[in-house]
Amino acid sequence: MTEPLPHTLQVGLGARSYPVRIGPGLLARRSSYPEDLVGADVLIVTNDVVAPLYLDAVTQALGQRRVETLVLPDGEAHKNLATFAGIIDRLAELVMHRDATLIALGGGVIGDLTGFAAACYQRGISFVQVPTTLLAQVDAAVGGKTAVNHAAGKNLIGAFYQPRAVIADVASLDTLGDREFRAGLAEVIKYGVALDHEFLEWLETSLDAVLARRHDVVAEAVLRCCAIKARIVEEDERERGRRALLNLGHTFGHAIETATGYQSWLHGEAVAAGMIMAADLSARLGHLDQAEVQRLRSLLLRAGLPAVPPPIGGRQMGQLMAMDKKVARGRLRLVLLSGLGEAYVDAGVDDDALQLTLSLADAR
C-alpha cells in the first residue's frame, strides 16, 4: 500500500501561528526540523518507553546542532512539579539560553511537562511537539495547553503556551501499546460527539480500519481532529468561550484520574467514562435521547473503552469536580450534549440530576 503524503495545516494565531504536519515517517526526516523552527541548542525531553524507539532517529535528524537529552520515567504519576523542576534543572545545568529549543518527544504527559518548562524557563523559550501517542497527536500536542498535576486536581498548575510546530508521525503509533492506542481513540471520538456529527458517522464506518492502524485512515482521523481543534483555538485560545466544548467528558474524567491516583486509569479511559456520564446527565435533563446515549456507548465499547466509571463513589467524585478549573464564581460549568455532535456549556446544572449521574460511580 502506498503511504499517504504528509498533510500540513496551520494553527492561525498571528505572530504565534505554527504548522501541524501529519503523516508517516516525519520524526526521522531532517526537513521536519528547519532552522527557523529549531535553534542550534536543543534539549530533547522524552521518557524511558519512547527513548529506545525514537530518540536516536530524532537526534540524527537534527544534524549538527548541539543536542542534549533528558529521559524521564513514563506515566501520568510523574506529571508533577518535581519532574517539571528536573527539566528546569537540566536546562540550567546545560547553560541553555533563551535561544534554546525544547523538543517534546512522547505522549501528552511529556508534551505538557515540556511545554510548561518552555513557558517558564527564562520567561519563555521555543519548543516543538513530536507526539508519539494517538491522544497527543489529536489533542494534547495542539493548542498550547501546558500543565502539571497536583494532589488536589489534574492540570491545576500550568500555562497557555504555543509550540513552534507539531510533527505528528502516524507511523510512531505502530509501536504504541493496544491499551494506549484505544485510550487515544476516546479523544478522537470526543471530537465527533461534541462538535462534528459528520465526523462521528465517518468514525463509526472507519473504526475497524483505525483500529487496524492503517496509516492512511489514521492520518485522516488525526487531520480531521487537528483541523477542528485548530479552528476553535484560533477563535478562543484561552478557553473563555467555545474552546470549553473540547472538554466534553473531561470534568468527570479528571475526577476519575485524581481519585485513582493517576495510575490505574489512563486519561483517555477516564474521558470515555466521563463522556458517558455527560451523556447520561444530558439525557436526565431532557436534552439527549436514550438512543443517542446507547449509540455513544456502543461506539466506545467497539473501541475497547470503558462505558462506566470506576466505583470511586459519587460523593468523592462531586468533591473532586468542585476543584475543576472550569468552576466559575462557585458554579460548576459542565460540557453537555443537546444532540450528538452538538455540545454546549451548562453553568447551572440541576443538582438532583447531577447527583443521580454521579451515583453511577457508587460501588456496584
| 160 in Cβ contact with 144 (< 8 Å) | yes
Q: What SS3 class is residue 141?
A: coil
Reply yes or no on whether the pLDDT at 121 is more than 80. Answer: yes
DSSP code of 332? -
Q: What is the tally of helices (H) and strands (E) in the chain?
A: 12, 11
CA distances from 144 to 112, 119, 238 (A): 9, 10, 9
Please give the average per-residue pLDDT across 257-284, as a whole number: 96
Using pLDDT thresholds of 50, 70 and 90, give the confidence band for residue 348.
Answer: confident
The vertex-178 CA angle with 172 and 181, nearest 5°, equals 55
Write down the pLDDT at residue 362: 95
- Between 333 and 87, name the one with better pLDDT: 87
DSSP string, 1-65: -PPPPPEEEEE--GGG-EEEEEETT-TT-GGGS-TTTS-SEEEEEEETTTIIIIIHHHHHHTTTS
**Alpha-carbon span 141 to 18, nearest angstrom:** 12
Instruction: For residue 143, give the C-alpha cell.
Output: 493548542
**Alpha-carbon span 115 to 118, nearest angstrom:** 5
**Alpha-carbon span 147 to 116, nearest angstrom:** 6
DSSP code of 328? B
**Alpha-carbon span 28 to 169, nearest angstrom:** 9
**Domains detected in the chain:** 7-175 (3.40.50.1970), 192-361 (1.20.1090.10)
According to DSSP, the residues that pair with 43 across neighbouring strands are: 68, 102
What percentage of the chain has pLDDT greater than the value 70? 98
Using pLDDT thresholds of 50, 70 and 90, give the confidence band for residue 291.
Answer: very high
Please give the average per-residue pLDDT across 110-122, as a whole number: 98
Using pLDDT thresholds of 50, 70 and 90, give the confidence band for residue 303.
Answer: very high
Q: What is the pTM of this model?
A: 0.94
Write down the pLDDT at residue 1: 55
Reply yes or no on whether the pLDDT at 152 is more than 80. Answer: yes
Q: Environment class of residue 82 by beta-carbon count within 10 Å: exposed (0-12), middle (13-18) or buried (19+)? A: exposed
Reply yes or no on whether the pLDDT at 2 is more than 70. Answer: no
Q: What SS3 class is residue 187?
A: helix
Pairing, β 41-47 against β 101-106: parallel
**Helical packing angle, 178-195 and 267-284, nearest 10°:** 30
Catalytic machinery residues: 123, 145, 187, 229, 239, 243, 247, 250, 254, 267
Q: Which of 68-72, 82-86, 120-124, 317-321 has the lowest mean pLDDT?
A: 317-321
Q: Summarize pLDDT for 186-233 with one digit per residue, the tens.
A: 999 999 999 999 999 999 999 999 999 999 999 999 999 999 999 999
Write down the pLDDT at residue 85: 98
Phi-psi region of 236 (alpha: psi -120 to 50; beta: other; left: phi over 0): beta
Please give the average per-residue pLDDT across 47-64, as a whole number: 97
DSSP code of 165? E
Reply yes or no on whether the pLDDT at 324 is more than 80. Answer: no
User: Which residues lie closer than 8 Å to 330 by C-beta, 6 or more apart?
Assistant: none
**Alpha-carbon span 253 to 244, nearest angstrom:** 15
Write down the pLDDT at residue 236: 95
Q: Summarize pLDDT for 199-212 with one digit per residue, the tens.
A: 999 999 999 999 99
Cα–chain-centroid distance for residue 236? 17
Please give the average per-residue pLDDT across 47-67, as a whole number: 97
Reply yes or no on whether the pLDDT at 352 is more than 60. Answer: yes
